[in-house]
Amino acid sequence: MKNIITYTLGISHLDDTAQNMMTNEIYWLSIDSKSDINNIVNQLVKSNNNKSYLINISSELNNYINNNNEKEYHKNSKQVFFKRFNKEKLDYKKYINCIKSQKNSLAILYIPQNDLNYLTNDNVHKLLKKIKLAAIKFNCSVCFISKNPNLIKLSELLSGKFRILSGFSSLSTVDLGYEYKIHYWLTQSSILSNLAINLQYQHGNFTLDTKSRNTITYRSDENIYYVHKNIIDDKILHSDNWNLINTNHELVEIAEKSYSATLVFSINKIVEIDELAEKIHLIRSTRGNNLKIAIIESQPCIRFSDERLLLACGANLVVHNGTSLAYLFSLLESIQSQVFSKILLNDVKCLIDGMKPLRIKGIISSNVFGDSVNILLQNGLLPIDGKGLLFIFEPMKGLQPEQAFTLCKIRRYGDIITVHDDKIYLFLFSCRLTDEHSALSNIFQLPVENIFQRKATYSRDKDIMQHLKPLLNNTHSAEIAGIKPILNNSSTSIAPEPSVYRPKPITLKFR
């Protein structure tokens, strides 16, 4: 099992869940005085010095990270953070450059007052998003530190950013010591929010005030279900832990505040799949692997390729229309102990485009057919031996291939058909062997056995490639003359047959 690196604020006797920082995550600590900033920075360095990971702060501080001389350490630890930036506007690159200078590190980034003055709801979101991507790319944990006299304004800016910012806390001076306020703080096992903890500063270290009553209450949403109202009726809710939600949009907003709850989305139109895939990808990439995400098909619309896309974007479960409620509850129960473990690609647009069929369908020339299927076989985003089915048909004696074409109707993108050496080649994108009969019944107007004397089916990539070679080596398009007018007439489907001429009766009149 891979060892998970965590860093700490180093506050003595404080529970790890209130101060640990995970890799690939961002945290923000607001402190109200210069001296306390230096104290917390020095404590961060000392507390994480046992790890073989560089702490990116400044050149002055890096010089003594591994210095064991305590006196020399404190001599060099003064005023290490207060640099002046000449730029008048918020510059994202200077923070990103600090992160990418060394991988696998804790990056402690001081935000000067000049940059704080330029923070707005829009650009703080942009800043955090860019830093989040950099933290993931370089496997860093990022801790922003700021001296902010206006904590209320900063809280308003950061309180809604918890889907990108994993922790926000503040350290302020009170009469008898310090107050460490956790606005929210996420760890692998819990969520903390709205907590005030009393601290003392003793012997060069912040420590928990044992004389005060400090109680940490953890908010666990492990057994909470948020379910779209289209899926179940309010009267049959399992318990008070089940909550009906009106829209998928509201479910996304709830997901931004959840840690390990179960979210059940509803979908009933094929045009909603891409948008829902993007939302699920965002939830999974920002809220972590403990959330349980299920998509229920309230109307038939999810194809096998769409199901694979939703699962690749972060869903734990896809349930098709017609599933009984009893079985649905069993399926939701089965994912309660799951932690999402698949590799999640960063670019959701590339993921969606890569898992979609080619924008071509119907009758095409043999060389285009061969090239199109070959492109799909080389697509690494599609599963091995799961890209589709290749059929090779031999028409009945006396039946020309172009005549067989008039009996087929192809509707889906990615489903293509051609002719080569008096054989008909049909490729159905993302079709499973179990769906072969129903798929062919929907394409051909007559039973396949009445049209073709032989049929071969291939599903494995190497078998498809082997039988695709004659088409890849073919230099003549549309060898049979009869296919040319069909190709010219429509590249997507067969034109409707002309209606039969029926003469109308007339009355003859004689003079």
- 232 and 193 share one domain: no
Asked if 190 and 50 sit in the same domain, the reply is yes
Q: Give residue 81's pLDDT.
A: 41
Q: Tell me the per-residue pLDDT of 501-510, one tens digit each, with 9 for 90 and over.
A: 455 555 555 4
CA distance 461 to 476: 25
372/340 same-domain check:
no
Q: Specify the number of domains making up the chain.
A: 3
* For residue 158, pLDDT beyond 90: no
Cα dihedral 372, 490, 438, 310 sign: positive
* Average pLDDT of the segment spanning 151-168: 83
Assess whether 104 and 234 both reside in one domain: no
3-state SS class at 508: coil
Position 136 in a domain:
yes
Residues 6+ apart with CB under 8 A from 242: 225, 227
Quick one: 254 and 232 in the same domain? yes
At 338, which CATH number?
3.40.50.2300
Judge whether residue 6 has pLDDT over 50.
Answer: yes
How confident is the model at residue 359, as a pLDDT?
A: 87
For residue 73, the model assigns a pLDDT of 42
Highest mean pLDDT among 185-199, 232-246, 396-410: 396-410
Is residue 210 left, alpha or beta, with left meaning phi > 0 and alpha meaning psi from -120 to 50? alpha
Q: How far apart are CA 331 and CA 349, in angstroms?
A: 29
Structure tokens at 83: 């640099």
- In this predicted structure, the answer to whether residue 206 has a pLDDT above a threshold of 50 is yes
Shared-domain flag, residues 90 and 38: yes
How deeply is 284 buried, as exposed, middle or buried, from its count of CB atoms within 10 A (0-12, 13-18, 19+)?
Answer: buried
| φ, ψ for residue 305, nearest 5 deg | -65, -35
Clarify whether residues 298 and 190 are in a common domain.
Answer: no
CATH of the domain at 24: 3.40.50.300
One domain for residues 299 and 387? no
* C-alpha closest to that of 95 among 53, 162, 140, 153: 140
Q: What are phi and psi of 263, to 5 degrees?
A: -110, 125
Nearest to 311 by CA among 220, 419, 231, 386: 386
C-alpha 439/C-alpha 417 separation (Å) is 14
Banded model confidence at residue 50, pLDDT cuts 50, 70, 90: low
Grouping H, G, I as helix, E, B as strand and the rest as coil, residue 503 is: coil
- pLDDT tens digits for range 33-46: 888 888 888 888 88
Q: Shortest CA distance to 50 belongs to which of 37, 65, 63, 62?
A: 65
Confidence of residue 473 (pLDDT cuts 50, 70, 90): low
The whole-number average pLDDT for the span 349-377 is 90
* Residue 504: count of CB within 10 angstroms of its CB: 4
Q: Is residue 231 part of a domain?
A: yes
217: its two tokens: 């209450």
CA distance 362 to 199: 71
Domain ranges, residue 377 = 358-473
Instruction: Check pLDDT > 50 for residue 70.
Output: no
Last residue of a domain, one of 181, 208, 235: 208
**Considering the domain boundaries, does residue 428 fall inside one?**
yes
CA dist list (Å): 266 to 242, 257, 269, 304: 16, 20, 10, 17
> Is residue 464 situated within a structural domain?
yes
Convert the pLDDT of each residue in 368-390 to its tens digit. 999 999 999 998 888 889 899 99
Helix (H, G, I), strand (E, B) or coil at 359: coil
**In this predicted model, what pLDDT tens digit does every residue of 85-124 receive, in sequence order?**
444 466 777 778 778 776 778 888 888 777 788 788 888 8
Specify which of 223-237, 275-289, 415-429, 495-509 reaches the highest per-range mean pLDDT. 415-429
* Mean pLDDT score of the chain: 79
- The least confident of 213-217, 226-230, 360-364, 439-443 is 213-217
Of 351, 386, 405, the last residue of a domain is 351
Asked if residue 213 belongs to a domain, the reply is: no
Paired sense of beta strands 242-245 and 423-429, if any = unpaired
297 and 256: one domain?
Answer: yes
Q: Please measure the distance between the N-terminal and C-terminal CA atoms of the chain and give it in whole angstroms.
A: 105
363 DSSP assignment: E
In a shared domain, residues 315 and 432: no
* Single-letter code of the amino acid located at 377: L
Last residue of one domain, picked from the residues 351, 371, 403:
351
Half-sphere exposure of 215 (CA within 13 A, CB side): 3
pLDDT of residue 157: 85
pLDDT of residue 348: 87
d(CA 431, CA 192): 46
Q: Residue 483: inside a domain, yes or no?
A: no
Tell me which of 442 and 112 has the higher pLDDT.
442
Are residues 12 and 154 located together in one domain of the fold? yes
Counting DSSP H helices and E strands in the chain, the numbers are: 18, 20
Residue 115 within a domain: yes
Do β-strands 177-186 and 167-174 pair in parallel, antiparallel, or remain unpaired? antiparallel
Q: Is the pLDDT of residue 217 over 90?
A: no
Q: Which amino acid is at 317?
A: L
**30, 15: one domain:** yes
Task: Kindly tell me if the per-residue pLDDT of 410 is higher than 50.
Answer: yes
Distance of CA 426 to the CA centre of its chain: 33
pLDDT band at 491 (very low <50, low <70, confident <90, very high): very low
Question: What is the pLDDT at residue 319?
Answer: 94
Q: Tell me if 138 is assigned to some domain.
A: yes
| Sign of CA pseudo-dihedral 22, 16, 338, 1 | positive
